[in-house]
A and B are shown apart, each in its own frame.
Chain A
Amino acid sequence: MTPTDHAQRLQTRTAWLFVAPLLVILFAVAIWPLARTIFFAFTDAYLDDPANYGFVGFSNFVTVWEDTIFWRAVSNTLIFTVVSVAIETVLGLAIALLLHRAFFGRGLVRAAILVPWAMPMVVSTRIWDWMLNDQFGLINRILIDLGIIAKGIAWTADPTLLLGVVIFIDVWVTTPFMVLLILAGLQLIPEDLYEAAEISGVPPWKCFWSITLPLVAPAIGVAMLFRTLDALRMFDLSYVLAANNTNTMTMSIYARDQLISFQDLGVGSAASTWVFLIIGFIAILLVGLLRLDRSQH
């Protein structure tokens, strides 16, 4: 064995040593629970006694598949995701463009817009829940005083409004996150590109479409991917606002209901596995679509 071989082996061993704790933790918190969930999805175990189970094949998956409430939860989640991410992206881009310009007190404004995002979702949801209360809520009071409506709207009780309220609160909470990511992307665009365009007499709208947007697109893409995956597994907001109301029930709430409320470990695990597969499929689709695996300029 040459000295180089020895050094190489030592290096490899040291590398494994450094990576090992991470691998152990990853296995403990991600791979093992996932494997257990998939395993239980094929059994008839109950939560109070998971050791006592028998294999039932794919019947749990079929049960979930045939449950109309599950599909309602899927469609709620998808509507919530598409609409809220779309609004957050457009709003986030607009606010980021405003904040990108230098103005007095910009630093303060940047810090201030982060406040909604820094608050725990449960707190934000409760705040809006109270403000939107049909009798005592601030929002109805303002709308009545302004003469826009005659009597209070039942924002959080009216089934047709509920999903809209959920989307509204999510936009309020997470737009700052979008703003920050897009702002970081904007700041990477060299100022002299705009000066070159200015001298060439390129009109502002064309500057936006042909310079700003293509160059900030990778940042927007990453931000949308983060937000989409986050939105697809949303639980807290809907649950705090309306618990397991079917109008706002998300996939995660459905799985939790099966698992905790009905104590059905098998069906709950099957539902969780479905959620995992759906989110995984969308993630792969998005990464492919955004070509994030390829180096972008």
Chain B
Amino acid sequence: MASVTLKNVSKHFGIYDVIQNVDLDIADGEFMVFVGPSGCGKSTLLRLIAGLVPVSSGDVLIGGEKVTDVPASKRGISFVFQSYALYPHMNVSRNISFALETARIGKAEIAKRVDAIAKMLKIGHLLERRPRQLSGGQRQRVAIGRALVADPEVFLFDEPLSNLDADLRTEMRFEIAKLHANIKTTVIYVTHDQTEAMTLADRIVVLNHGRIEQTGTPRELYDRPSSRFVASFLGSPKMNFAPVSMAGGRLAGPGGFSYAPVLAAAAAPSEIGLRPEALALSRASAGGAIEGIFERMEDLGHEYLCYVRVGDGLIWTIRGNDTPPDFLPGSTVHILWRPQSLYLFDKEGARLDHGSMKSAAEGAA
């Protein structure tokens, strides 16, 4: 087990800056998730840590030791690929043990280790099969088994669940979480799926255009996103946004939105954000409610989503889990919101604190 530290790491391919000045500390045994939209550099960052791609500048430390120029095989890491990268011409058993063949540890010891891992991952009955005879979930297990057999200090996962269907993804997510609880090895896990990030991570790193947008626990990032980018990336359905203007200490926005925040001196909000689950709908007008046109309702059984047009063209989502309302499409509705759930962002997308916001202590709790 080992910590991982990135010191001012940058990577450029030709003129493209893929990773820019990343500083990061990952504690020993931590489950760290890199999340971000495609092209944000999360996979590249993982490959830099693995040593599959050399850094352009900066240093990578594993277990406190500088490994910037150490080859991938000597870094004490294991890598689970998105495509699994199983050797198609070898059976499961040999796929797992292939790396040990040159390690001079003897056939009996190899067999013992393969058996132990097969038992742990419940793939004992598949050992003689070829990868193409396995289902997606089984291939995934074999890929994890191959990573486990090396007994790594750090586990690297590159979008391991993205090739699986929804049910299997939930199941494997659970298994990976359990695996981490058992072996307590440091894990760095890349995904574009915010659900995987929220559910698996001890801490999340949100990446955007090769820079770290924010690092924190899932709860911190959800409650106190540092920017509009993080706020819109985490949470499903996405946060609702609307442009606002400031006049005489009061914010005014579409649908009759009006609010007087307590702001720091230089703060200039230009956009508000409200999460779908922090909103409620009412037929009757209420003080401070935002007016909109009801468009459509989706009843999912355990919850429902209402789509309401606010101002011109903005569609907001309101989520509830009580009895679904029966508004007629086209009818006027009122969106109820509370100041403590309101997020304000400035022109650059940075979040601004305002008087009614949940306090930092409350947010981290």
Contact = CB atoms under 8 A, between A and B. Distances in A.
Contacts, number: 58
A195 interface: yes
Contacts of A197: 98-99
A200 B99 contact: yes
B182 interface: no
Nearest to A189: B88
Contact of A198 (B72, B98, B101, B150): B72
A199 B132 contact: no
Nearest to A201: B73
Interface stretch (B77-85, B164-172, B281-289, B357-365): B77-85
Contact of B77 (A193, A199, A202): A199
B211 to A, nearest CB: 25
A211 B57 CA distance: 33
Interface string B90-108: 1000000011011000000
A193 B73 contact: no
B36 to A, nearest CB: 21
Interface residues of B, number: 25
B81 A203 contact: no
B50 interface: yes
Nearest to B77: A199
A200 B87 CA distance: 13
B87 A211 contact: yes
Interface in B305-326: none
Contacts of A192: 81, 83, 85
Contacts of B85: 190, 192-193, 195-196
Interface of B: 50-52, 71-74, 77-79, 81, 83, 85, 87-90, 98-99, 101-102, 130, 132, 146, 150
B79 A195 contact: yes
A109 B245 CA distance: 62
A67 to B, nearest CB: 47
B79 A202 contact: no
A215 interface: yes
A199 B89 contact: no
A160 interface: no
Interface string A282-297: 0000000000000001
Contact of B102 (A193, A198, A203, A297): A203
B98 A199 contact: no
Contact of B89 (A195, A202, A215): A215
B146 A196 contact: yes
A210 interface: yes
Contact of B78 (A199, A206, A211, A214): A199
Contact of B81 (A196, A200, A297): A196
Contacts of B90: 210
Contact of A297 (B78, B88, B99, B150): B88
Nearest 3 CB-CB pairings of A with B:
A201-B73, A200-B99, A192-B85
Nearest to A217: B89
